Chain A
Amino acid sequence: MLPLIGILLVVIGFAFRINPLLVVTVAAIATGLAAHHAFVDVVSAFGKAFIDSRSVTVVWLALPVIGLLERAGLKERARTVISRMRAATTGRLLLAYLAVRQITSALGLTSLGGHPQMVRPLLAPMAEGAAENRYGELDEKTRNLIRAHAAATDNVGLFFGEDIFIAIGSLLLIRSFLEQSGIRVEPTSLAAWSIPTAAAAFVVHGIRLLLLDRRLDRTLDRMPACTLET
């Protein structure tokens, strides 16, 4: 029971909004010590796990070029492009991205999206631009809401698309785990049974994106040029 102290610390830490990096570090060391490992072993295991998981942060390598392009006006250009598409609303744009992200992930092309290389420089400015088109300059709260939706749409598209691809890590994990229990399963059938949930994800999240459009329409005043359309 004592090692559960780590989970307790994490829950308390996040609830009280203590810096997550500090909370997680303390929780990891506390968990190890509570399980009666020696301090040197705990710190060593901790250091090894940190080094072994360097791969999660490789996307940061995109920052020099993304930053350079931002300085040269990439976000501004993305907004201009979207402003030329009159039918584009924030919700419809994100819905189209959701579909593309799910389909490409299902084909194993998960690196086509992602927060540093796609959401920050392209998707979020376009989603904001589509709203600015209709409602003019956005207040800070609306801007942040739209940005959060852009990030969320990338996540939902990735999570509920990638499992349809037969060589993705999660299916390989399922397969090797079941094999240890003496059960053989085919990756193709696992992938096939991921399709119903993928469809549900598209419907649920898609409806929410269209509801986002309605919410923006309700809370913001349309620019005069746009009230004539629709």
Chain B
Amino acid sequence: MIGVEFVYILMGLMMAGIAVVNLRDRSSPKRFNNAAFWGLYAVTFIAGPHLPNFVDGLIVIAMVAIMAIGKLRGAPPESATREEREASARRFGNWLFVPALTIPGVALLGTFGFKYLTIHGAPLIDPKQSTLIALGVATVVALVVGMILIRPPIRAPIIEARRLMDAVSWAAVLPQMLAALGTMFVLSGIGPIVAGLVDRWIPLNTPFSAVFAYAVGMALFTAIMGNAFAAFPVMTAGIGLPLIVHRFGGDVVIMAAVGMLSGYTGTLITPMAANFNIVPAALLELPDQNGVIKVQVPTAFFLLAANITIMYLFVYHR
């Protein structure tokens, strides 16, 4: 059975390739740092699950040390000039969209179609991870389509991947690091501590104040953790169930659904949700790492108000 490890090995090979391109780039003053950073990252993808957890932890710390002490070099210059790209765009026309749209197309096909691929009745592709594997397969198919269409030198994809990856730089690793931080928060009992503080210091003696505290608490705690999934159990066990549902007789479905969405408004305003906020800022080469967050703050504020209103209007009257 093809499992998700297959996708991680592809990731590892790509990172290793990016490390090699960096290493061979004599024009880069930081080529050894960049090569070591992406090389160690490649090791975590390919060998990570087989190494002791302690060694994995040390590898990650080494990556951070390389970045903090040695510094990384950002994106190298574009490999084609604007004139070349415009000429090429005229030549290929709308065919250029085909490989780009192959990614979502094949990803969809795989998500729904993989379950029909069986060998002697056993699924060929791990059904629990089909979305992730489909995405991995889709990128490979799109690359093949792109190579056939454009016919670039064989090295071009990895050189271009290096250009984009070095533009994103350390931010690429941040989502995983935040997941590690979240695990550490759980391990150290942060959730109950925060719920206890809220219970002790905020008076919650009316149905409205309970709704308000729950929704705002979801948003703020999500902003701290960077993830509504981490905030939901804490706030729901601390405020939602005991107060809104049990004391004031609110509806559990409405509370939970709108509560989770209140958490999502917190996701919009926090650098801790790196893959939605910090990574795109790096990917779009914005000078301000908080550029995306700043644009999202007004939407988040009005939506939190909308969530409080929706929850208060319906949760007690159903």
Chain A, range 138-195, C-beta contacts under 8 Å to B:
144-145, 147-152, 154-156, 159-160, 163, 169-170, 173-174, 177-178, 181, 183, 185-186, 189-191, 193-194
- Give bound CA distance, A75 to B277, whole Å: 22
The size class of the interface chain B forms with chain A is 35 or more
Q: Which residues of A contact B99 (CB under 8 A)?
A: 65, 68-69
- Chain A nearest CB, measured from B49 CB (Å): 6
Q: Using an 8 Å CB-CB cutoff, how does the interface string of B166-178 with A read, 1 for contact, 0 for none? A: 0010111111111
Tell whether B204 is near chain A: CB-to-CB under 8 Å. Answer: no
Q: Which one, A1, A178, A200, contacts B306 given CB within 8 A?
A: A200
Q: How many residues of chain A have a CB within 8 Å of chain B?
A: 110
The DSSP consensus for interface residues of chain B is helix
A177-B284 contact, Cβ under 8 Å, with A156-B268, A183-B252? no
- Give bound CA distance, A135 to B48, whole Å: 51
- Give bound CA distance, A7 to B126, whole Å: 37
Q: Which one, A37, A54, A68, contacts B45 given CB within 8 A?
A: A54
Asked if A174 contacts B232 (CB within 8 A), the reply is yes
- Chain B nearest CB, measured from A173 CB (Å): 6
Tell whether B116 is near chain A: CB-to-CB under 8 Å. Answer: no
Tell whether B96 is near chain A: CB-to-CB under 8 Å. Answer: yes
Q: Which residues of A contact B52 (CB under 8 A)?
A: 44
> Chain B CB within 10 Å — which of A3, A42, A57 has the most?
A57
Asked if A19 contacts B68 (CB within 8 A), the reply is yes
A68-B256 contact, Cβ under 8 Å, with A45-B184, A58-B136, A112-B108? no
Residue of B nearest to A46 (CB): B57
Tell whether A62 is near chain B: CB-to-CB under 8 Å. Answer: yes
Q: Which residues of A contact B237 (CB under 8 A)?
A: 181
Asked if B181 contacts A21 (CB within 8 A), the reply is no
- Give bound CA distance, A99 to B284, whole Å: 22
Asked if A72 contacts B96 (CB within 8 A), the reply is yes
Q: Which one, B64, B94, B232, contacts A21 given CB within 8 A?
A: B64
Asked if B92 contacts A81 (CB within 8 A), the reply is no
Tell whether A121 is near chain B: CB-to-CB under 8 Å. Answer: yes
Asked if A148 contacts B292 (CB within 8 A), the reply is yes
Asked if B303 contacts A197 (CB within 8 A), the reply is yes
Tell whether B142 is near chain A: CB-to-CB under 8 Å. Answer: yes
Asked if B257 contacts A119 (CB within 8 A), the reply is no
A47-B54 contact, Cβ under 8 Å, with A63-B164, A71-B160, A144-B291? yes
- Chain A nearest CB, measured from B252 CB (Å): 6
Asked if A53 contacts B54 (CB within 8 A), the reply is no
Q: Which residues of B contact A91 (CB under 8 A)?
A: none
Q: Which residues of A contact B111 (CB under 8 A)?
A: 111
Q: Which residues of B contact A149 (CB under 8 A)?
A: 295
Q: Which one, A59, A67, A148, contacts B281 given CB within 8 A?
A: A148
Asked if B286 contacts A147 (CB within 8 A), the reply is yes
Q: Which residues of B contact A77 (CB under 8 A)?
A: 89, 92-94, 96-97
Q: Using an 8 Å CB-CB cutoff, how does the interface string of B56-88 with A read, 1 for contact, 0 for none? A: 111111001001100000000011101001111
Q: Which residues of A contact B198 (CB under 8 A)?
A: none
Tell whether A40 is near chain B: CB-to-CB under 8 Å. Answer: yes
- Chain A nearest CB, measured from B175 CB (Å): 4
Asked if B157 contacts A64 (CB within 8 A), the reply is yes
- Give bound CA distance, A181 to B79, whole Å: 57
Tell whether A28 is near chain B: CB-to-CB under 8 Å. Answer: yes
- Give bound CA distance, A66 to B158, whole Å: 11
Asked if B303 contacts A174 (CB within 8 A), the reply is no
Q: List 6 extra interface pairs beyond A61-B11, A205-B299, CB under 8 A.
A: A1-B193, A54-B8, A56-B176, A181-B237, A193-B254, A194-B257
